[in-house]
Structures are given as structure tokens and as C-alpha cells.
Chain A
Amino acid sequence: ILNVEQSPQSLHVQEGDSTNFTCSFPSSNFYALHWYRWETAKSPEALFVMTLNGDEKKKGRISATLNTKEGYSYLYIKGSQPEDSATYLCAFRSSNTGKLIFGQGTTLQVKP
């Protein structure tokens, strides 16, 4: 059974704080790791697709790193803003299947 775990489950920060979340996934049969941001009443929005060990991706104030050997990825948000409030999902794709296996998400709330 392939398991993807995210921590923490929820996070409350003040505007301007920097924060990070963790996604743990199986270290075998790795194919890709996806990050999504999901705001209430909207569609999940793709942030990053990461494929290579040591990958680092950046989009504005959000960045992500990937360690496929130990099976984890970090998502960083620098200087959080209220509009960053959302659930952040990671999804693992193994080389054996084409499906995405999602973690349960980290819900971020940024207070003004």
C-alpha cells in the first residue's frame, strides 16, 4: 500500500510569517511529486511537478524541494499573506501506475 503523509495537518500563522510543510512518500518506484493549492470553493491549482532528486522549484514566494532517496518534499512560503490561506496537497506518482496518490493536505490560515 502506497502511503503519502503530510504534516502538519493545519497551521495558523500571522501575515508576514514564513512557513513550511512536509510531504512524505515512498522512496521506491518514484516517478513524480506534484504540489497543489486548493482554495475553498475553487479547483485545485497546480503549483509544481517535481521529478528529479534535489529538484528545487519556485513560483513567487512559494518554493519546493525534493528528496527522492529519503522520500520527502518540503513546501516553503516566504512572507505569508492572507491570500495564501488554502489547503496544500502533495501527490505522489509511482513508476508503476499513472495515478496520483494524494496526502490528506495541510490547511494554512494566514491572519492579517
Chain B
Amino acid sequence: DAGVTQSPTHLIKTRGQHVTLRCSPISGHKSVSWYQQVLGQGPQFIFQYYEKEERGRGNFPDRFSARQFPNYSSELNVNALLLGDSALYLCASSGRTGTDTQYFGPGTRLTVL
């Protein structure tokens, strides 16, 4: 079975632009979570979606938004990019929202110049 996939692998943008990152969960998983990881820190929670509804939101500005599609894939959108948005963006899928293990994708490395 394929694991969690993310695209693109790497992305370079300039300040003020917007970006869309994509995630496909493991087949059968209905929950997708997004995390931002900057060097030297653990991943920081951005969003969780379950059955296409937002179930949790981290402490990120409104420039960050996400959605989940009927096939449970998800997009993370970031508008008006800032230099500080440069990070590795990880997507994780799980079967439910409770104690289920979250399985991570390889991430998208975003560089904002």
C-alpha cells in the first residue's frame, strides 16, 4: 500500500506570493493533519481535517487555510508569503481523530525568498 504522498517535494517562492501544497492520505484514512517544521524545532500543528470538516486549528495566522476533498486528499494554502514561512510542511493521515497513529508523508520543503 502506498503511504502518505505529498507534492511538490520542493518549492521556491518569493515574498507576497501564495502557495498550494497537496497531500494524499493512506487509502482508507479519513483524517489529515498539517504540520510546519522549522529547523531545530518539533513539528507545529496547523490544521486537522476529518471527513472533510475542520477539527482543529493551531496558532497560525489567517493566511493559512486548508481543505479536504471527498476523496480525503487535502490542500494547504498559504497567502502573502513571508520569509518566516520557509519550512518543511508535513502532512499526516490517520483513521480517526483519537489515539490512532498518525502516518507522515515526506514533506514539502518551502523556501521563501
Measured CB to CB, the nearest residue on chain A to B97 is A98
Listed stretches A11-19, A60-68, A99-107; interface member: A99-107
Q: Do A43 and B42 form a contact, CB below 8 Å, given A31-B99, A99-B56?
A: no
Q: Do A93 and B99 form a contact, CB below 8 Å, given A43-B107, A98-B55?
A: yes
Residues on B with beta carbons closer than 8 Å to the beta carbon of A103: 42
Q: Are B105 and A104 in contact (CB under 8 A)?
A: no
Q: How many residues of A are counted as interface, with CB atoms below 8 angstroms from the partner's CB atoms?
A: 25
The A-B contact count (CB < 8 A) is: 61
The answer to whether the Cβ of B17 comes within 8 Å of any Cβ in the partner chain is: no
Instruction: Output the residue of B33, B43, B103, B105 with the most chain A CB within 10 A.
Output: B43
**Range for the number of chain B residues in contact with chain A:** 20 to 34
- Residue interface bits B85-108, CB-to-A below 8 A is 1, else 0: 000001000000111111111110
Measured CB to CB, the nearest residue on chain B to A96 is B56
Q: How far is the CA of A15 from the CA of B42 in the complex (A)?
A: 26
The answer to whether the Cβ of B45 comes within 8 Å of any Cβ in the partner chain is: yes
Within B4-56, the residues touching A (CB, 8 Å) are: 4, 33, 35, 40-45, 48, 50, 55-56
Q: Do A98 and B90 form a contact, CB below 8 Å, given A4-B42, A49-B99?
A: no
Q: How far is the CA of A34 from the CA of B41 in the complex (A)?
A: 17
Q: How far is the CA of A97 from the CA of B97 in the complex (A)?
A: 9
The answer to whether the Cβ of A110 comes within 8 Å of any Cβ in the partner chain is: no
Q: Are B104 and A43 in contact (CB under 8 A)?
A: yes
Interface residue from A45, A51, A89, A100 paired with B33 (Cβ < 8 Å): A100
Instruction: Output the residue of B33, B44, B50, B99 with the most chain A CB within 10 A.
Output: B99
Residues on B with beta carbons closer than 8 Å to the beta carbon of A45: 104
Q: Which B residues lie at the A interface, using CB under 8 A?
A: 3-4, 33, 35, 40-45, 48, 50, 55-56, 58, 90, 97-107
Q: Which A residues lie at the B interface, using CB under 8 A?
A: 4, 6, 31-32, 34, 36, 42-46, 49, 51, 89, 91, 93, 97-105
